[in-house]
Amino acid sequence: KAGVTQTPRYLIKTRGQQVTLSCSPISGHRSVSWYQQTPGQGLQFLFEYFSETQRNKGNFPGRFSGRQFSNSRSEMNVSTLELGDSALYLCASSGGQGEQKLFFGSGTQLSVL
Amino acid sequence: AQSVAQPEDQVNVAEGNPLTVKCTYSVSGNPYLFWYVQYPNRGLQFLLKYITGDNLVKGSYGFEAEFNKSQTSFHLKKPSALVSDSALYFCAVRDVAAGNKLTFGGGTRVLVKP
């Protein structure tokens, strides 16, 4: 089975722009969650989607949004980028909930200039 | 609210020596506990999990972890460290009632010297 695929691998944007990141989960996985990783804040939960519905949301401003499609692929969008949005954005998929382990992609490294 | 603490930013150990990475947690109900490892420029890889049952959990690459409910700890251990174990290690807890949301500790960088 192919692993979790995130595209693009690297992105450079300027302040005020918007960006869309893509995540393709492992085949058959219906849960996709997103995390932001920064040196200062560590790993922080953004949101989780399950069967096209947002199931959980972290403490991020409304500029951060996401969605999931019927094939379980997910996108996250960040509007009006700020310098502090520079981070590694990780997507993870899971076959279910609760005790299921997460499978992570390699991430999208976003740099905001 | 759930939380995880990894008190050491970095652990240095000589190859062949035992490795321990500490983790304590706080959660309102029964915890689901996980350890993940991150190699440079990569995502996180699952090492092991504790859900219920035996307090000693064995995982990938020779790692194990011991769940201690009274001390609310879930320390990661390996009897004999390898240079290739050098990486960033994250402890995480999942609140059973919060779906797949994981709360991670700040991470511990492990450096195994030859």
Domain ranges, ordered by start, for chain B: 3-113
Dump the DSSP string for A14-69: -TT--EEEEEEPPTT--EEEEEEEETTTEEEEEEEEETTEEEEE-S--TTEEEEE-
What would the pLDDT profile of A8-42 be if each residue is shown by its tens digit?
A: 999 999 999 999 999 999 999 999 999 999 988 88
pLDDT at B27 (0 to 100): 86
Chain A: residue nearest B34 by CA?
Answer: A101
CATH architecture assignment, domain B3-113: Sandwich (2.60)
User: Do B33 and B49 meet the contact criterion of CB atoms below 8 Å apart?
Assistant: yes
Contact between A58 and B94 using a beta-carbon 8 Å cutoff: no
Q: What's B99's DSSP letter? A: T
What would the pLDDT profile of A69-101 be if each residue is shown by its tens digit?
A: 999 999 999 999 999 999 999 999 988 655 578
- Tell me the nearest-neighbour CA distance from B31 into chain A, angstroms: 10
pLDDT at A96 (0 to 100): 61
Q: Confirm or reject contact between B39 and chain A (CB < 8 A).
A: no
- Tell me the nearest-neighbour CA distance from A36 into chain B, angstroms: 11
Window from A68-72, A95-99, B44-48, B72-76 with minimum mean pLDDT: A95-99
Q: Which two tokens stand for residue B72?
A: 């609310």
Give the closest of A43, A56, A105 to B98, CB-based. A56
Which residue, A86, A6, A36, is CA-closest to B104? A36
Q: Confirm or reject contact between A60 and chain B (CB < 8 A).
A: no
- Please tell me whether the peptide bond between A8 and the residue prior to it is cis, using omega within 30 degrees of 0: yes
Is B105 a residue whose pLDDT tops 70?
yes
Choose between B52 and A43: higher pLDDT. A43
Q: Confirm or reject contact between A108 and chain B (CB < 8 A).
A: no
Separation between Cα atoms, residue B87 and residue A70, nearest integer Å = 36
Give the closest of B43, B104, B105 to A106, CB-based. B43
